[in-house]
Structure 1
Amino acid sequence: MLVYAPAALLFLVFSWRVLRERRRFGNAVLLGLAVLCALVAWMSRLVRSGSTSGLVVACSLLAVCALGILVLTYLLFLNGLRMVRKEGRSPANLLSLTAALGIVGVIALVITAAVVRTPLLFGVGAAALGLSSYVSFLFLSFVCYAFLYGRLQVRRKADFVVVLGSGLVGGSTVPPLLASRLERAREVHARLTGRGGSPVLITSGGQGPDEKLPESHAMADYLTDRGFPADLIEREDRSTTTDENLRFSKAIMEAAKPDYHCVVVTNNYHAFRAALTARRVGVRGQVVGAPTAAYFWPNATLREFAAVLVAYRRTNIAICLLFVLGGVLVWSVR
């Protein structure tokens, strides 16, 4: 059983860090490493057992993984085409399609390197395989922990509920994506009120160049039109990014109650990155997510993951350079 010791140790460290601060990307990495070590240990035991059943199970797992990659590529390709049809051809809407083509490209490059067997292709293939494996590991860790984070219990009491803006349709109308955030905020507010609190709801969003009024004002109007008390709404109408949403809302909360606690509401695909940002700017509160249309979720999740990679760009660039150097080393020794 010692073969599982690294996985158990990593999981213990992960659990301790979550109890101390759940809003860390390092938690996702630790969870991914714990699962990876457990899988490697299990596969190792199956192979070393020498039994036919063990080898069959190990080969079946590898086959399932390979099939899973092909199915994922196909689904990403279909989702990419649907995003283009429904949302247009902007770069942000092409991420699913780009990811699918990237997976196909890496697979084709590795197969070509194995068949042609030239030193240059071996080096390029090794570097591409290493880079894609690293990014895939981070992405799976991100998705799994984001799913877990969205199901962790928030504080029983909070002084504020902050709703992050996401743009208006036609310059003045709340779109379905933002409406889902506002409806989720109403649910959270009602739950907190039922526990004896009287939280203030902060609508957060400034006015974009193509908008007729600040997002926060349209959000507040949406709520009051549906019976939400106007005297419980505070409008933060200067922000243009998630970072500013949280910074400016933090200033409002600190001015009203220095020892505040809050719940931040956004969409489920955005919740974990918003939590990372909230921790970085010093907001005392957790983030909850509202439902998102199924077709929109894969592309939006890829966009959030890309933003997290950029946020930790120094570390990621350093590690990626190591894989490139590894490819150069493979090329030189061939």
Structure 2
Amino acid sequence: MGAIFLIFNGCILLKKEGASKTNLVSLSLGVSVLAFYVVTFYYLTSETKVFNVNTLSNVIFVIAVYSYLIFCTAFIAFMLYSFIYLTVPNKKIYDFIIVHGAGLRDGEYVTPLLRQRIEKAVEAYLNSSNPYIKIIVSGGQGPDEKISEAQAMANYIESRTSVPIDRVILEDKSTTTYENLLFSKALGKKLVDNPKFLFVTNNYHVYRTSAYARKIKMDGDGLGCRTAGYYIPSAFIREFIAACVKIKWAFVVLYTLLFIFLFVI
């Protein structure tokens, strides 16, 4: 059922967002998982001696099953950790709210996804008990953009919200999530001693952003905003892949153990 859901979701995503490498993630994974199920069914119902690893096809099958179990376990753990992180309430008083940038529509206007981040940040700003809190809009100008993402967000805040524009700080040099945090932290430290940050992004993106915050020793917490349902599976899978890359040494150890086992037997 999981494979069918991913394929169905991938088709919806392509229809709504258009074809791109990132939008093909859900569909590609669904097809791969379905193919794995078909091959597994064949091996378990045919006369092939599945556990006789003396043949290349059986070695490949064992590796595929091993990989499936490892990544399924890791994915479940990743989902649980992300859910717990998002549901644990934060009671801190923050000095700055960072809004992570994203691609712009027509090179100068915020997209629905980015608008959700801004509105979540504005909500946090209005509910803050710190009268001096400020919003840092963070994002540089891409090669296909007419203005920086920070400027586009500032324009939206000025024209569409009640937040005074003098409470908005532009960080318009960053090009990655890591740089969003790093450069925003530097701006905050120029204005406040030991600043506390609340960084706002989409809920699927909070885990990785939080990992970067810990890496640069930022005193901050993540706040996730709502994401269109059809977009979540693909985005969450991409975040999972990024998390796996960060701990690739663990997978190297696991696969080393497998190959030692195959070599011994």
TM-score, with structure 2 as normaliser? 0.92
- Flag structure 1 segments of 5+ consecutive residues without an equivalent: 1-70
**Counterpart among 126, 132, 147 of residue 213 in structure 1:** 147
Q: CA RMSD in A?
A: 1.6
- How far does the alpha carbon of each residue in 1:205-229 deviate from its partner, in whole angstroms, 9 at most, with x for none? 0000000011001101101112320
> What does the per-residue CA deviation read over 1:254-278, in whole Å, with 9 as the maximum and x for residues that have no partner?
1111311110000011011111111
2:185 corresponding residue in structure 1: 250
Question: How far off is 1:325 after superposition?
Answer: 4.2
1:260 — aligned with what? 195
User: Match for 1:165 among 101, 104, 109?
Assistant: 101
- SS of the aligned residue for 2:109 comes to coil
Q: SS in structure 1 opposite 2:229?
A: coil
1:98-177 matches, cutoff 5 A: 98-114=28-44, 115=46, 116-117=48-49, 119=52, 120=55, 121-177=57-113
Counterparts of 2:203 and 2:120, CA distance in 1:
11
- Using the aligned pairs only, state the percent identity: 33
Native 8 Å contact 1:159 1:197 kept in 2: no
Deviations 1:58-99 (A, max 9, x none): xxxxxxxxxxxxx21111110111122222222211111121
Structure exhibiting the larger radius of gyration computed from Cα positions: 1
Runs of 5+ unmatched residues, structure 2: none
Which residue number corresponds to residue 202 of structure 1? 136
Q: CA deviation at 1:314?
A: 2.2
Query: Which residue in 1 is equivalent to 2:168?
Result: 233
> In the alignment, which of 247, 251, 256 is matched to residue 321 of structure 1?
256
Q: What amino acid maps onto 1:217 in structure 2?
A: Q
Q: Which residue, out of 300, 306, 327, partners 2:235? A: 300
Q: Secondary structure at the match of 1:209?
A: coil
TM-score where L is the length of structure 1: 0.74
For 1:144 and 1:167, locate their aligned partners in 2 and report how far apart those are by CA, in whole Å: 29
Name the CA distance, whole Å, in 2 between partners of 1:321 and 1:84: 37
One-letter code aligned to 1:200: K
The structure carrying a bigger helix percent of its residues is 1
- Over residues 155-180 of structure 1, what are the superposed CA-to-partner deviations in whole Å (9 max), with x where a residue is unaligned? 33011101000110110010000000
User: What is the CA–CA distance in structure 2 between the aligned matches of 1:130 and 1:139, rounded to whole Å?
Assistant: 14
Deviation at 1:196, TM superposition (A): 4.2
Contact 2:137–2:150 (CA under 8 A) maintained in structure 1: yes
Aligned partners of 2:16, 2:84: CA distance in 1, in Å?
A: 29
